[in-house]
Structure 1
């Protein structure tokens, strides 16, 4: 069995509560008059019981067995002087045991059996018991055991939900990384293919006596073709769809108008604003920026429904800023988990890839906003 944590502050508070309650009840018995006065050593039993309560989470089965072994014989001997704290301690230990072990576990079965023995001893030895007292005892034992079973069940459900959430998050991260790898593969394959074509065109323009130059360009062409083929072999397993043409145009910020038009047809009123002078961007950065805007708009349509959204692209000094905001649902309903699902996971992956910053969350005036800052290298490389 896994090692359990030491007592928590809450356990210490419960320990003190049971200790004070038991000692107070026993002092009343010690100072009671007549032959039914409680012996002073019962206070020591209270201390032992409180210590078992303190460590009940660490050793639930041992605590219950030890308490029953001490309390049941004493209850049988002093049945007429039965104290309330004795029953409360037993109920708490039973609750703890069943909240840890399933009913089919032999420790849970043993704990229930010991509880049954204890209940029989209480009912047999106590005097002046009414049917109502018997019913209360049985109901309290049932409530303690049922509460323990319910707590264990809900704890298992919560743990399964947490594990499932972590699994889905890992799957989402892996899926998005695969998608990024596929897209970057297409970008590199496209760029290398263009380079190979330009090298071939330059080779055909050489004069016959330029043999050295022709050989160098031949090497460039062959190396480029081999690089494209190696890329296809290494990343091919990541593909879930058909292989695209290496020369196919890639999504980029220059094609945002097409994306905006698609979203408008789907019912989303999108306004596109570009601030600053657009500059050529590296193909991977350009593609990721497009995907971030696409995912943010898709999340808006999915969670807020047909509403008004604004996309602002800002070209700043060494920084590309993306702001996608919406006004929230038009019907006044509370939106779903906008921006907290797998879409946000994918956006974070892309932003982290380029060492950028991302913030997303509800806006003070209503709606939702996504803000992204992507650093641009000092010398921008133009990839055609």
Structure 2
């Protein structure tokens, strides 16, 4: 990526942000501050709690954990009506678990009694049984499910214990 950034001239770049994105390394779970700041600017109080000792994660696992938190918080901002959210990163021997909960109105119920969010999280089905994005700019819960599956992890999505919505992913961290 850095080499491409050097090879491209200013005329080839649409803007500084795109230039920076094309030459920056992929983010990792240890770099959540910018995401949390953006959520706070949107008017949602968000807390981050880190449990355990952060170990060195494989780059794919660190990026996956980051993207899960990013997408779950984006969903909170766009869909939940929440005033508060919490992010927990828990390091355990052999695993890292990321959890995002909010105080919003929670998911709608589907006709079969399953929450619409749980149905949407099926990576094979995508949104509404298709491969269409779940919203502008992303694949929502289906994208999260695909990322988790690609790492060999497990995913739980649905109503939170105290209301709202919860997304929890447990990823192998060898």
Distance in 2, matches of 1:285 and 1:255, equals: 13
Aligned to 1:376: 173
Aligned CA distance change for structure 1 residues 335 and 349 (closer, same or farther; 3 Å)? closer
> Aligned-pair distance for 1:323?
0.9
Q: Kindly report which structure 2 residues correspond to 1:89-108, keeping only aligned pairs within 5 A, or say none.
A: none
Counterpart contact for 1:303–1:335, Cα < 8 Å:
no
Higher strand share: 2
Distance in 1, matches of 2:82 and 2:156, equals: 23
Distance in 1, matches of 2:33 and 2:151, equals: 24
Deviation track 1:283-303 (CA, whole Å, cap 9, x = no partner) reads 111111100000001111111
Of 26, 31, 48, which residue of structure 2 is paired with 1:250?
26
Of 34, 52, 63, which residue of structure 2 is paired with 1:276?
52
Q: TM (normalized to structure 2)?
A: 0.69
Counterpart contact for 2:107–2:158, Cα < 8 Å:
no
Aligned to 2:162: 365
Of 328, 338, 347, which residue of structure 1 is paired with 2:104?
328
Aligned CA distance change for structure 1 residues 319 and 249 (closer, same or farther; 3 Å)? same
Q: How many residues align?
A: 134
> Aligned-pair distance for 1:348?
0.6
Greater RCO, 1 or 2 (C-alpha within 8 Å, sep 6+): 2
Aligned to 2:113: none
Q: Secondary structure at the match of 2:22?
A: coil
Are positions 1:353 and 2:153 aligned together? no
Distance in 2, matches of 1:364 and 1:315, equals: 22
Higher helix share: 1
Aligned to 2:84: 308
Superposition CA RMSD, Å: 2.3
> Aligned-pair distance for 1:364?
4.0
Gapped regions of structure 2 (runs ≥ 5) = 4-17, 109-115, 121-133
Deviation track 1:304-339 (CA, whole Å, cap 9, x = no partner) reads 12421000000001000011111114xxxx766657
Distance in 2, matches of 1:297 and 1:373, equals: 17
Q: TM (normalized to structure 1)?
A: 0.33
Counterpart contact for 1:299–1:338, Cα < 8 Å:
no
Q: Kindly report which structure 2 residues correspond to 1:1-384, keeping only aligned pairs within 5 A, or say none.
A: 244-245=22-23, 248-329=24-105, 340=120, 341=134, 342-377=139-174
Aligned CA distance change for structure 1 residues 361 and 256 (closer, same or farther; 3 Å)? same
Distance in 2, matches of 1:365 and 1:306, equals: 13
Counterpart contact for 2:107–2:159, Cα < 8 Å:
no
Distance in 2, matches of 1:367 and 1:306, equals: 8
Distance in 1, matches of 2:144 and 2:101, equals: 15
Counterpart contact for 1:268–1:305, Cα < 8 Å:
no
